[in-house]
Amino acid sequence: MASWQHQGSLPDLNTCLPRTLFLLALLGGVSGLRECLILQSVKGSTVSCHGPTEFPSSLPADTVHLSVEFSSLTQLPAAALQGCPGLQELHLSSNRLQELSPGLLAPVPRLRVLDLTRNALRSLPPGLFRSSAALNTLVLRENQLQEASARWLQGLDALGYLDLAENRLRSLPARLLANLGALHTLDLGHNLLESLPEGFLRGPRRLQRLHLEGNRLQRLEAGLLAPQPFLGVLFLNDNQLTAVAADSFRGLKQLDMLDLSNNSLSSTPPGLWAFLGRPTRDMQDGFDVSHNPWVCDKDLVDLCRWLAANRHKMFSQNDTLCAGPEAVRGQRLLDVAELGTL
């Protein structure tokens, strides 16, 4: 399901410059800093630095887009962003940053995008986002974050996109997202999470995409997803789920895609599937329940009937098989449902 997961899931964090302007810059038509390219326009300056050994100084006062990527930076000066109060996008991916100053973002209250992908951050300082009420996109993917604090995200009233994937998070505080009412996309995939705290999703009320794949989740508890009437995409694949509460999908009227593949589910409770798919509405983007050890007995009747009614939206049909009893081991759930052998 890899290609399915990533289609349209991430915002475009790279500013694509017109070819003509880029060529002009290379030819020296635009002023520059050492190891940096500066493009000026009526909207402000775009500064792109690739491979610098130090953070650039003397940035243009009208800088709106700053990219310092693919270098060996391990730290940033506390006053690194002084002098460019209109900065809107800051891209610091593929460095070796280990920590950030609490006041780093204070001089740039208009910042909308912060990309810290692929660094070595183990934590975030309290108060980092105190002046970041305009921040819409925060990407912390592929760092070394281990223990999240409830104070990490305070001040991010406008945050819509949060990516914490591919870190080392083992647990999350219940109020981590408490003030993120505008959040529409949350990616917690490929961490070490074994559970999510009660009420974890009560802050965001307009969540549209939720990525929880590649963790160690064992149960989907009752009520976890209840406050999310706009949720359209839910990834729970590649966990260790053995149980899903009967009302887990209640109220998910907009869910168009669900991935439960590669878990340890042998059955599901009666009524679980009544809230999804037909006869109410199609799941437009499909679903996947393959590679689970399904026990095809009377306890699976509800799921098998639902699969038969929604088979036109079912992925990996030939990999959704009975693990038992012995009489039907290896048979497709769809075939068992159609034969009425349960």
| Domain 19-207 CATH (choose: 3.80.10.10, 3.90.950.20, 3.90.1580.10, 3.40.109.10) | 3.80.10.10
Among residues 224, 216, 183, which one has the least CA distance to residue 200? 224
Among residues 74, 67, 37, which one has the least CA distance to residue 53? 74
Q: How remote is the C-alpha of 35 from its chain's centroid?
A: 32
Residue 294 and residue 135: Cα distance in Å, rounded? 44
Among residues 112, 104, 164, which one has the least CA distance to residue 130? 104
Residue 25 and residue 305: Cα distance in Å, rounded? 62
Residue 149 and residue 337: Cα distance in Å, rounded? 47
Structure tokens at 101: 């100053």
Long-range contacts of 228-232 (CB under 8 A, 24+ apart): 228/201, 228/204, 228/252, 229/253, 229/254, 230/184, 230/206, 230/254, 231/207, 231/255, 232/208, 232/256, 232/257
DSSP 338: H
Q: What is the pLDDT of residues 20-37, one digit of tens each?
A: 344 334 333 333 367 899
Residue 160 and residue 175: Cα distance in Å, rounded? 17
Return the C-alpha torsion angle 79, 82, 86, 89, nearest 10. Answer: -30
Among residues 40, 44, 53, which one has the least CA distance to residue 88? 44
The reported pLDDT for the residue numbered 34 is 72
The reported pLDDT for the residue numbered 50 is 85
CB-based contacts of 213, cutoff 8 Å, min separation 6: 5, 189, 190, 235, 236, 237, 238, 239, 259
Determine contact, residues 34/242, Cβ cutoff 8 Å: no
Determine contact, residues 244/221, Cβ cutoff 8 Å: no
DSSP 262: S
Q: Kindly list the distances between the CA atom of residue 241 and the CA atoms of 19, 250, 316, in Å, as whole numbers in the listed order.
A: 49, 18, 19
Determine contact, residues 130/154, Cβ cutoff 8 Å: yes
The reported pLDDT for the residue numbered 279 is 76
Among residues 246, 298, 297, which one has the least CA distance to residue 275? 246
pTM of the model as a whole: 0.90
Q: What is the pLDDT of residues 268-302, one digit of tens each?
A: 999 999 999 987 788 999 999 999 999 999 999 99
Q: What is the pLDDT along the chain (342 residues), one digit of tens a residue?
A: 544 554 444 455 444 444 334 433 433 333 336 789 999 999 999 999 988 788 998 899 999 999 999 998 999 999 999 999 999 999 999 999 999 999 999 999 999 999 999 999 999 999 999 999 999 999 999 999 999 999 999 999 999 999 999 999 999 999 999 999 999 999 999 999 999 999 999 999 999 999 999 999 999 999 999 889 999 999 999 999 999 999 999 989 999 999 999 999 999 999 999 999 987 788 999 999 999 999 999 999 999 999 999 999 999 999 999 999 999 999 999 998 776 666
- Break the chain into its structural domains and give their ranges: 19-207
